[in-house]
Chains A and B, each alone.
Chain A
Amino acid sequence: MTAYLADVATLARKDLRLELRARNTVPAMLLFVVAALVVFHFALPAESSELAAKGLLWVAIVFTALLGLTRAFVAEREQRLIDGLLLAPCDRSAIWLAKAVAVLGFLVVAEVVALPAFALFFSGIDGATIAGVALADLGICAVGTVLAAMAVAGRARELLLPLLFLPLSIPVIVGGVGASVTDHPARYLGFLALYDAVFAIISWASFEYVVTE
């Protein structure tokens, strides 16, 4: 168990170090999410409610995550890094977990900027929304990492991932928007936790088949 976790930590550190040196993904995500919020300001008519803005916050989060996920396995495929990872003496699901942790890290950095920016541009953010965002991030990263690994195997790559990911993200949007706009967020947070648990298990179990033949 500790060996497994050590593998995960090593692999995740590899991704974070690559990002620190090349700075490809995180600045793009940050710029994207702030630009999206500015676009939403102009997309919403002046009289529309705060609730509509909160709904759009979730759209921004999902698309920002999608941006990060698209880049997640590019180095693995283009520079054949995946072959080296598969030869490494570790469990294949550790590769999934490490990648999910790295993507989660990038997404959290983007949100640490996005949520205050949202509060500044639109309306304040309550604890339920933050809890919803945290739970949704887990689910998005768990599912998204598997789908990103699938998408890079295809010819269409960047085109394929949103098609695969958006139908699966609908429950996340429901849970997240429910948690941030209703008066009793506990049900929605519970639903998000259920989504996370179910999809984390199935992603963990199935990742090996996605990367091997």
Chain B
Amino acid sequence: MGFTAAVITFPGSNCDRDMAVAIEEITGGTVHRVWHGDSDLPDGLDFIGLPGGFSYGDYLRSGAMAARSQIMQAIVAQAARGVAVLGVCNGFQVLTEAGLLPGALLRNGGQRFVCRDVALTVGTSQSLFTNGYFKNQRITIPVAHHDGNFHADAATLDRLEGEDRVAFRYAEPVNGSQRDIAGVLNDAGNVLGMMPHPERMIEPAHGGSDGRVLFESVLRAVGVAA
């Protein structure tokens, strides 16, 4: 059986199709589109994607409402079983609000919505999502967010760094994130949240293909023939 993925759509998601297309094109697998109000995920998933967007209009806090939606219980259960879960932008906010990742994403330090390509450095190549990069590799991936300012207490930040769980850092000031953190892994290493959009950088027509490596890494790590 080939690579099998699910991409979740919340009310206000707007990068769900982009993520589904990226996964399909790069892995050659099957992508199920799942509505937030569903209670079950398809069987035999290798990968779950939480897309960017503005779920529930960012009411209360970005990602707060989506994190309490019906499908999240199934996602928490699959994450506990080791299924790869990627949250991009609003998806990252949802994962922190759901408690699957530490920290929180505050309003950008400069108050402005930031929408441009940014330089990142790869924090670790020892993960499901980053094994195709090398450590400290400089890559370019676009961001588009208002609330991407990663915050956690000092002990949590020290633990993330000590356990090699910072997947990506900004190579330049972008949003005021503590220790320039752009993406973090959970303690088991199978859940990644990141503000930059790898699915928007997968072919030369996008201006580069640095994001493609992330999906190839997952495919390789999961070990399923495409």
Say if A and B assemble together: no
- B residues bordering A, Cβ < 8 Å? none
A residues near B (Cβ < 8 Å) are none
